[in-house]
Amino acid sequence: MGVEKSSAWKALSSHADDGAASALLMDLFSDSGRSERFSIELEEMFLDYSKNRITDKTLELLLDLAEQQELSEWIVKLLNGDEVNDTEHRPAMHAALRAGGLNVQGKALEVQDDIESEFNKMALIVDRIRSGHWRGYSGKPITDVVNIGVGGSDLGPLMMTNALQTIKSPINLHFISSIDGTQTSNILKNLNQETTLFLLASKSFTTIDTLSNAETAKDWLAEVIDDSNTLLSQHFIGVSTKPDMMTEWGVPPENQLIFWDWVGGRYSMWSTIGLPIALQIGMDGFREMLEGASVMDQHFGSAPLSQNIPVLMGLIDVWNINFLDIHAKAILPYDARLKYLPSYFEQLVMESNGKAVNRDGEKVAYKTCPILWGEVGPNAQHAFYQLLHQGTQAVMCDFIAPVERDDFDAHGLSEKDGSLRYQHELALANCFAQSRVLMLGDAAIPDAIKEQFNSPFKHYPGNQPSNTILLKSISAKTMGMLVALYEHKTFVESVIWEINPFDQWGVELGKLIAKETHSALKDTNKAEEFDASTQSLIKRVI
């Protein structure tokens, strides 16, 4: 029996039909205690979920659904390291990576020593590079580090190092991911072999995207380095679950950092894959990020479901998707440092829950993961907000903003500090204004200017649900909390939908067919079986 036939689901359907689905946010806010009741704070994070089309009754029924789906038990299974990834027969222990030995049990406890010892090795490497004592072939200190990785081996470090860019780093970081090599040739133009170090980050160490870029990097180094041992020992570090494969490629053992197959690629930023983050903010900073995530893990594992931030956010998304028929979600950070956060969440959420088959292998009869996308809010206001305000497609939005900024002196007297303070206020004002207009629509228009909006083209339907997350500031800790929140929220949804969020079979076939297609590019006879469209495309490029 699918969850859609369960009593808790049916109760929510009836609740929706009884008026909850057509309720207007504007009216719901006549309840003066709503904002306080539908918001929650955890250390340096504040979540306002009151701008969702929910009532106390809705939440009660959603919590019933969670209970029916044994969410609490699933949370325990996840955190203890039970085999929650059943199609690949392994646990998903990203939370164990950041537990630091705290309140951890089962398999997650067993791996703590391995994790700590690998982090210790990572710390030595980080200190050596950051202090200028990792030398290139000629003896000059490494100044530039290029991370070659794709997917989870790219996005996490890219997103996090951008978010924490105001922390001054002795190392310039660069990221290469795309298979086509244009990033590589562009980045290498501005770098010097003497002072450049490459990180090869690949869970399997077979990813063609990464290995092809690595070969190009190796060729570039070999233009000036005769000794291949020196080339490898001073200019390559490998991060992978496969030490043998790294050795085979040529990464010397002392330059290898490992992680484990129980770390999903999209959750691997917390492992040694986070090396670029540690290079940027130091190992202490990296550990602060882990601690931030651990704060969220502890909360997720111990807070009652009704007071549990990831649970509430996940359940409300389920309500929006399955009972309010909303199938798009926008991630809208109001700080340019978070520009890669939407891409990061795209991978996290859609690679996890973009599935149509439940854990028993049966096709589900309900919608699962929405289309998720986003952009730095103030930029998106000049782009797709048009659709948010007046399109035919309903969209749920997550607004994310820092309360304070650490890149200028909040009490500084200089004109520049004053201007930056003003800009920060503007950003927050825009953030709050947008969520308000999305909620209220026309009702947000002040009476005095109502006349000017008397036109069908200036009509704002409103009633679009949103969450607003305020972080005290953008720091290693709050970023750790934020990302862990979305990880757990995504897990909560998967439990309701009865799908496995930790595999990604959908991306496998394309990789396989690409190999076949590549050989057809070399030998067109092999393309004969292909469809006419692909054949004609192949002809055009050879």
Partner 1 sequence: MKVSVFGCELSGLVTASALAQTGNQVIGLPIGNARVEDLRQAMMPREEPGLSQLVKNQMAEGSLLFEEDWRVGVKHGEVLILSMPSWRLERAEEVIEKIGQYATEDVLVVNQSSFPIGTADRFEAKLRLAFAERGLVAKVSVVAMPEFISEGSALSDFIAPDRIVLGSHNAQSIKKIRDLMRPFNRITDQVKVMSTRAAEYTKYAVNALLATRISLVNELANNAEHFDIDMEEVRQGLGSDGRIGFSYLYPGCGFGGPSFASDVKNLVETLESKGYDADLLKTVLSNNETQKEVLFRKAWRFFNTDLKGKTIAIWGLSFKPNTSTVENAPSMKTIEALVAQGAKVKVYDPKAMPDFAVQWTGAPGVELVETMYDALEDADAVFLMTEWKMFWSPDYQLMKSKMKTPVIFDGRNIYDKDVLKEHGFRYFGVGRGESV
Return the amino acid letter for 512.
L
Nearer to partner 1, 138 or 186 (CB): 138
- Determine the interface stretch with partner 1 among 108-116, 127-135, 433-441, 530-538 (rule: CB under 8 A): 127-135
Nearer to partner 1, 135 or 472 (CB): 135
Residue placing its CB nearer to partner 1 in the complex, 234 or 500: 234
Find the shortest distance in angstroms from Cβ 234 to partner 1. 6
Which residue lies nearer to partner 1 by CB, 233 or 298?
233
- Number of alpha carbons in the 13 Å side-chain half-sphere of residue 444: 18
Which of these ranges, 54-62, 131-139, 208-216, 486-494, lies near partner 1 under the rule CB under 8 A? 131-139
Query: Do 290 and 480 meet the contact criterion of CB atoms below 8 Å apart?
Result: yes
Is-contact 363 356, C-beta < 8 A? yes
Site of tokens 């795309």: 178
Task: DSSP for 266-304, please give it.
Answer: GGGGGTGGGHHHHHHHHHHHHHHHHHHHHHHHHHHHHS-
Residue 436, number of CB atoms within 10 A of its CB? 15
Tell me the DSSP string of 49-108.
-TTSS--HHHHHHHHHHHHHTTHHHHHHHHHHT---BTTTTB---HHHHTTTTTT--HHH
Q: What is the DSSP string of 215-272?
A: HHHHHHHHTT---HHHHHHHHEEEEES-HHHHHHHT--GGGEEE--TTS-GGGGGGTG
Q: Which is nearer to partner 1, 82 or 194 (CB)?
A: 194
Cβ–Cβ < 8 Å for 253, 125: no
Window of 59-67, 107-115, 226-234, 395-403 that interacts with partner 1 by CB under 8 A: 226-234
Contacting partner 1 (CB under 8 A), which of 153, 202, 234, 478?
234
**Minimum separation from the CB atom of position 139 to partner 1 (A):** 3
Interface stretch with partner 1, choices 43-51, 130-138, 471-479, 512-520 (CB under 8 A): 130-138
**Residue in 165, 169, 216, 230 binding partner 1, rule: CB under 8 A:** 230
Degrees, nearest 5: CA angle 11-15-19: 165
CA distance 485 to 398: 13
Establish if 131 lies at the interface with partner 1 (CB under 8 A).
Answer: yes
Compute the least distance from the CB of residue 133 to partner 1, in Å.
Answer: 4
Q: Cβ 228 to partner 1, closest distance in Å?
A: 13
Q: Tell me how far, at minimum, the Cβ of 295 lies from partner 1, in Å.
A: 36
Residue 27 CB burial class (10 angstroms; 0-12, 13-18, ≥19):
exposed
Q: How far is the CB of 494 from partner 1 (least distance, A)?
A: 48
In three-state secondary structure terms, 401 is strand
Binding mask 134-173 for partner 1 (x = CB under 8 A): -x-xxxx---------------------------------
List the Cα angle 492/472/307 in 5-degree steps. Answer: 35
Q: Which residues contact 434 (CB under 8 A, 6 or more apart)?
A: 332, 377, 381, 385, 399
Determine which residue in the list 133, 450, 458, 515 makes contact with partner 1, applying CB under 8 A: 133
Minimum Å gap between C-beta 409 and partner 1 is: 17
194 vs 503, beta carbon nearer partner 1: 194
Binding range to partner 1, per CB under 8 A, among 19-27, 126-134, 160-168, 300-308: 126-134
Complex with partner 1: residue 172 or 230, whichever CB lies closer: 230
Question: What residues between 389 and 448 interact with partner 1 by CB under 8 A?
Answer: none
The residue (of 124 and 507) whose beta carbon lies closer to partner 1 is 124
* Category of 498 on φ-ψ map: left (φ > 0), alpha (ψ -120 to 50) or beta: left
Q: How many residues of this chain bind partner 1 (CB under 8 A)? A: 12
> Given candidates 13, 72, 233, 306, which one binds partner 1 under the rule CB under 8 A?
233
- Tokens standing for residue 238: 């490998």
Q: What is the pairing mode between strands 466-471 and 45-48?
A: antiparallel
Q: Which residues are part of the catalytic machinery? A: 351, 382, 511
Phi, psi of 200, rounded to the nearest 5 degrees: -95, 110
Rounded least distance, CB 472 to partner 1, Å: 32
The footprint of partner 1 (CB under 8 A) covers 128, 131, 133, 135, 137-140, 227, 230, 233-234
